[in-house]
């Protein structure tokens, strides 16, 4: 079920500066930008590759406020890898399966994620210290 990495989320203080860094270092292109008020982030998706089930991306995240999840993370740990997101075909199914293994779900139901995806987070303390996101990519029209 957990068949691919959808994206790696990177917490950054200055989105434009880090877009410049990642696109010049790795020749990645920004394919989407969004402000997600519910998650408290301004973000950009940089395309890495396409694969079975969907693409993979570097996701750059700038907090909208200091008391948002990414704002608190930067204050505590500084900039860097914030979470790893697995692409899944059915996010409710994945939540039920992994919740059944005793992992705490941070979302009772899927929320809105990048590029029209549906997402849910797992508690980092139950996943070896890694904040984990489940992503059901938007269906291609």
CB atoms within 10 A of CB 8: 16
* Residue 121 in the binding site for ligand MC0 (CB under 6 A): yes
* Residue 119 in the binding site for ligand MC0 (CB under 6 A): yes
Question: What track of x and - describes contact with ligand MC0 for positions 43 through 62 (by CB under 6 A)?
Answer: x---------------x-x-
By CB under 6 A, name the one of 70, 94, 98, 134 that touches ligand MC0: 70
- Cβ atoms of 28 and 45 within 8 Å: the answer is no
Active site residues: 7, 43, 59, 83, 133
Report the interface residues with ligand MC0, using CB under 6 A: 9, 36, 39, 41, 43, 59, 61, 69-70, 72-73, 76, 82-83, 85, 106, 113-114, 119, 121, 124, 129, 131, 133
């Amino acid at each position: 079920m957990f068949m691919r990495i959808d994206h790696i989320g990177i917490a950054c203080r200055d989105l434009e500066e880090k877009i410049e860094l990642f696109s010049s270092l790795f020749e990645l292109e920004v394919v989407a930008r969004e402000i997600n008020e519910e998650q408290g982030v301004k973000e950009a998706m940089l395309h890495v590759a396409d694969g079975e089930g969907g693409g993979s991306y570097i996701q750059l995240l700038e907090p909208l406020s200091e008391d948002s999840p990414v704002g608190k993370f930067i204050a505590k740990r500084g900039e860097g890898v914030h979470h790893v997101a697995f692409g899944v075909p059915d996010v409710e199914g994945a939540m039920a399966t992994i919740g059944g293994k005793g992992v705490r779900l941070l979302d009772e139901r899927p929320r809105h994620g990048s590029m029209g995806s549906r997402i849910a987070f797992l508690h980092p303390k139950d996943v070896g210290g890694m904040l984990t996101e489940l992503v059901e990519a938007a269906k291609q029209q």
